[in-house]
Structure 1
Amino acid sequence: MATFVLVHGAMHGGWCWSPVRRRLTAAGHEVFTPSLTGQGERRDALTPEIGLSTHVRDLAELLWFEDLTDVHLVLHSYAGVLAGPLAEAVGERLASATFLAAFLVEPGECLLDVEPPEVADGYRRTARERGEGWFLPPAPAFLEQWGIPDDLRSHVGERLTAFPLRCQTDAAHYDPAPLAALPATYIRHTRPPLESLDRSYGRAVQAGWDIREIACGHDAILAEPERTAALLESIAGGR
């Protein structure tokens, strides 16, 4: 059986992995679904100081305190930005990295560097005008942007939390070798796809990663939990 650490994206929390976690746990796997500082049930901890290094530390501490090894790391959306710094910090504990509709940044880049320029500008403007200059507030427009199915919109929308702008603008500084040494998979969602991920997906293809697809929107973990769990089991089993 495999050990999974499933990491959520922006404005989400460990809660979004619950349907996938239940399926993997029922199959006998060990599954951890941490909520990053300031997100999900930890939303009260949100401050302007939270940045990329905060969330890398969250995950490194989890792996150390739980003494996890041979971990299949699964990163959704924003969490992909954490991959390089985390692999540098605790790469010896990781068995593989799976990028589920996730962003890929090279050393020295931030998340907004790999977004389309008009999207990045919009996020900065929203934080300036509606987020006190330091956070991105949740809004119904994100449900549309991410292709959340109608029957999930209320459930997801009520649980979205403000997201620190620093997590989008902090550059990821890391040695690329530890991440490059890990078996890597990219899972692309196709119905609908998300233009913001095109650059990241292209990098995964160019790097020769294992490429998978899932026919749903950005929150595949909620829209297609059974299919998502099956993909993760397949990826871990293939290692």
Structure 2
Amino acid sequence: MSTYILVPGMWIGAWAWRQVTSELRAGGHDVYPLTLTGVADRSHLLGPEVDLDTHIEDIVQLAEAEDLRDIVLVGHSYGGMPVSAAALRLRDRIRAVVYVDSGPLPEGMSQLDLAEDTTEYEGDAVPPRPWDAAADPVLLAGLDETALDLLRTRSTGHPLASVRRPLGARATSADLPTVLVASTFPLDRIREMMAAGHPFFAALSEAEIIPLVTGHWPMLSEPKTLADILAGI
């Protein structure tokens, strides 16, 4: 049996992994879904000082406080940023690193560097997206109205400092066994982007790539399939 730490992306907390967690635990695995500081049930801790380093520390402290070993460390979307850095610090405890529609960005790059718009945010948080499936059919593919309503009601702002802070030293697929669960990019497109040295995939040259054709939130759109993939790693 394996030990999993499940790290969510922006605006969502450990709650988003509920069905995946149930499936893995039913298979006898130990599972630790994590809410990052300043989000969801930890939104009361939001402040200007909550940055990427805080989220890296969230993961490291969980692993060390619970004395977890042989960890499959899973990061979804933005969660891949702190996961990639935490994996380097925890490498003696890690069995594999899994990126769910995510990956380790180049050192010195921030999550905000990937943004297609140049919105100037006010306050300490990036507000949640509108969760409008008609306006965003690719990323929100596979989500039924129940899942969309859940996202609309439970999403919270995400710490702005965490997406502004550049990533420092992090693990790549050359450092640890690595898997990419690809939901919104076709495999052919991923291979083309890898060959071109695209920053999304530059550190995943030795990763195993597993396609899961759905939207960007497979823990909600395809939880059983995602759980089966994780259980097989």
Task: Report the TM-score, using the length of structure 2 for normalisation.
Answer: 0.86
Structure 2: gaps (5+ residues): none
Task: Report the TM-score, using the length of structure 1 for normalisation.
Answer: 0.84
- Aligned-pair distance for 1:166? 1.3
For 2:166, which of 162, 171, 183 is the aligned residue? 171
Structure 1: gaps (5+ residues): none
Distance 1:55 1:91 in 2: 17
| Cα RMSD after superposing both structures | 2.4
Between the aligned residues of both structures, percent identity stands at 30
Give yes or no for the alignment of 1:185 onto 2:179.
yes
Q: Which residue of 2 aligns with 1:217?
A: 215
| Paired AA for residue 94 in structure 2 | L
Q: Cα distance 1:87–1:142, how it changes in 2: closer, same or farther (>3 A)?
A: farther
Q: Is the 8 A contact 1:39 1:162 kept in 2?
A: yes
SS at match of 2:148: helix
Q: Is the 8 A contact 1:108 1:171 kept in 2?
A: yes
Q: Which residue of 1 aligns with 2:11?
A: 11
- Aligned-pair distance for 1:81? 0.8
Summarize the alignment of residues 41-80 of structure 1 with structure 2, pairs less than 5 Å apart: 41-80=41-80
Q: Is the 8 A contact 1:103 1:111 kept in 2?
A: no
- Aligned-pair distance for 1:6? 0.6
Q: Cα distance 1:25–1:99, how it changes in 2: closer, same or farther (>3 A)?
A: same
SS at match of 2:179: strand
Q: Cα distance 1:225–1:175, how it changes in 2: closer, same or farther (>3 A)?
A: closer
Distance 1:175 1:220 in 2: 25
* Runs of 4+ with deviation above 6 angstroms: none
| Paired AA for residue 24 in structure 1 | L
Q: Which residue of 1 aligns with 2:127?
A: 137
| Structure with greater helix percent | 1
Aligned residues: 220
Distance 1:108 1:142 in 2: 32
